[in-house]
Structures are given as structure tokens and as C-alpha cells.
Amino acid sequence: MSISLNWISAGNLKALKEEGAKVIRGGIAVFYHEDHVYAVDNRCPHLGFPLHMGSLCDGILTCHWHHARFDVCSGGTLDPWADDVPSYEVRVDSGEVFVNPVSRSAKGAAKYKHKLKEGLEQNIGIVIAKAVVGLIEAGVPEQEIARIGIEFGTTHGTGWNAGLTILTAMAQSVDKLDKNGKILALYQGLVHVARGSSGRGTRHLLSALPSADVPFERLTEWYRSCLEVRDTPGAEKVLITTILKGIETKRLSEMMLIAATDHFYLDGGMYSISTAKHLKRWSGRRHRKRSGF
């Protein structure tokens, strides 16, 4: 496979293996994990913490600031409030690692329109804000951006609400504002539309991870971990990714039942089987102590 002149060298593979992670030109973090090399944008998409300082375990990169988790391969997040991180293609040639500086993520207005709809559906301010900035930067007219919010609010809410009034007022005023003013005005209108429609009308599923390349066994582990800590959005994302992967119903059911039976009371308490085993051992020790054994 030929490597274009534009690809960035990430140095020697052996050295990367020893270092575990490094940052290269373009602010790209490169990781050696489970005999593979991965590359993602080093800025956490949530609030910018350097991801090369995060932890990498079982294919999940965890940011150390607010603990957002990312599939290190695709950059997809299990925490929708953090957004996906751009990921990059990697090649190893004669023991040297190269990274394609053009991210694998979709770009341009279409991507940001999709993100704006996702932010409205899930009522996530940071995703809406980033989408508005991206759309304005991409030259999308303000009225077109406002229309996405109006269509969403009138389709998925329970009638006209304060958010739609705010957005309409903002859309009427944007012509008189500078670029930052336009972004703030649209954001305020859109975020109120999201709040006014959230939890009413349509239930919106989260999107799958960007890539379905993650093996089924790994998705099963991630699903179990999400349930263990009662992480509903993470579990939903992993489940949708698994379904879209075309896994047959029997294996899918097994995955869900294994995770569900980790707990005696899945929905009503903290009493997992591991807790139960721990308590059993602990009470056995107390009993032996009391009875002098």
C-alpha cells in the first residue's frame, strides 16, 4: 500500500510500543494498544483535555477530565454529551508508523446538519453549539439553520413552545448581528427548542458507533461494563452498534441476558452478583470469627 507524501511520520513502531502514546504534528495522538496502532485528535471533543494522557483499556480510551469514553478505533463515544473524536488512518511501513492527517470523519455542512439534529434529539447543548459553529463556518445561511430547529420543534414537541418563540425571534434578528452574535443567537434559540421538546413526543434512539469493526466479544464486554455502572446511553449505543453489525438474535439475546444476570435486581438496587459473592464471603468470615473458628 503506497503512503502519500502528505502522511505524517509518527516515528518508529518499536519506540511507540515502549511509549504507549505520543502526540505528533497536527495535534494527533497516536497509541499502541493490543498490537495495533491507532490515531485520534488529541483534543477531547468535550472540553479539550489532552487524550494522550487518558487511559486505554479493552479498546476504550477514557479522558481523565470528565471520563468520556471513546472507541479508540473509530473515535465514536459511548458518552453522547462528549461527542465523537476525529480518528485517523494509520499505516506501518518498514517499521515506521505513518498517519493520514485527513480525518476519517465526515466533514462539511452535511455532517454538522446531522450533528445539529442529534443534539436537538438528545437535548445536548455542547453538540448543538458545535454544530451551529460548524454550519456558520461552512457558510450555511442562518435561516436554513433556524429552519432545522423549527422543523424539529414543530414535528417532535407537543405543540408550539417557548423555545420555538425564542428561535423565531432570534432568526428575525440575526441579520443585524456579527458572526459571534449570530452563533450565540441561533444557539440560544435551538437549545431552548431542544429543552422544550425533550422527553415529549418522539423517543429518539442514539446513533451507533461510527464503525462496526469492533468484534462482537468486545461489544459484549462493553455492554456488560455499561450495565455494571448503570450507564444507559453507553449500553444503548453498544446495543445499536451490535444490532447494525447483523448479529443474529440468539447471540444478541445471550449478550443481553449475560449482562442482565450479573445483577439480582437490575433496576432497583446496587446488589450485583459480585456484591453478593463479596457479602457471602464477608458474612462467612464474621460468622467464623464470632463462633471462634
Q: Which residues bind ligand FES (CB under 6 A)?
A: 44, 46-49, 63, 65-66, 68, 82
C-alpha cell at 43: 483534543
Select 44 or 129, whichever has its Cβ closest to ligand FES.
Answer: 44
Helix (H) or strand (E) holding 78: none
Q: Residue 75 and residue 57: Cα distance in Å, rounded?
A: 14
For residues 256 and 223, the answer to whether their CB atoms sit within 8 Å is yes
Helix/strand/coil for 75: coil
C-alpha cell at 227: 450495565
CA end-to-end span of the chain? 69
Chain centroid, CA 89 distance in Å: 19
In the complex, the smallest distance separating the C-beta of residue 43 from ligand FES, rounded to whole angstroms, is 8
In the complex, the smallest distance separating the C-beta of residue 45 from ligand FES, rounded to whole angstroms, is 8
C-alpha cell at 159: 405543540
In the complex, the smallest distance separating the C-beta of residue 64 from ligand FES, rounded to whole angstroms, is 7
Strands 87-88, 28-33: parallel, antiparallel or unpaired by DSSP? Answer: unpaired
C-alpha cell at 76: 465514536
In the complex, the smallest distance separating the C-beta of residue 40 from ligand FES, rounded to whole angstroms, is 12
Helix (H) or strand (E) holding 63: none
In the complex, the smallest distance separating the C-beta of residue 117 from ligand FES, rounded to whole angstroms, is 23
Select 79 or 142, whichever has its Cβ closest to ligand FES.
Answer: 79
Select 229 or 270, whichever has its Cβ closest to ligand FES.
Answer: 229
